[in-house]
Amino acid sequence: MSEKKKHRGRFQAQGDGLEASETWNQKEPLTKRKGLTLLNKLRNKLSDKDRKLREKQFKDAERFINGSKGGVDSPLRQTFKNRKTKDARVDIEVWSGSAFVSLLALILLLLWLLQH
Amino acid sequence: MATSTLNDHPLLYPTFLEDYRTYHLVEAYWRRRLDQLLADSGITYHAFYNKRYANGQYIYDANPIFDAYFPARHKLVRIIQFYPESGDPLIEAYLDHWPVKEMDPGKRPRPADPSKSLAPIPELVIDLALTRATAEQALQLIQQWIVEDRPEEEMEGLVEEVV
Measured in angstroms, the CA of A96 and the nearest CA of chain B are apart by 5
Cβ-defined contact of A81 to B55 (cutoff 8 Å): no
Which residues in chain B touch residue A74, judged by CB atoms under 8 angstroms apart? 50, 103-104, 107
pLDDT averaged over chain B?
93
**What pLDDT digit, counting tens, does each position of A2-57 carry?**
689 999 999 999 998 999 999 999 999 999 999 999 999 999 999 999 999 999 99
The C-alpha of A53 sits at a distance from chain B's nearest C-alpha, in angstroms, of 15
Q: How many CB pairs under 8 A join A and B?
A: 75
pLDDT tens-digit profile of B18-36?
A: 999 999 999 999 999 999 9
3-state secondary structure chain B: CCEECCCCCCEECCCCCCCHHHHHHHHHHHHHHHHHHHCCCCCCCECCCCCEECCCCECCCCCCCEEEEECCCCEEEEEEECCCCCCCCCEEEEEEEECHHHCCHHHCCCCCCHHHCCCCEEEEEEEECCCHHHHHHHHHHHHHHHHCCCCHHHHHHHHHHHC
* Chain B residues near residue A78 by CB distance under 8 angstroms: 61, 63
Does B99 contact chain A (CB < 8 Å)? yes
Tens digits of residue pLDDT in B102-128 = 999 999 999 999 999 999 999 999 999
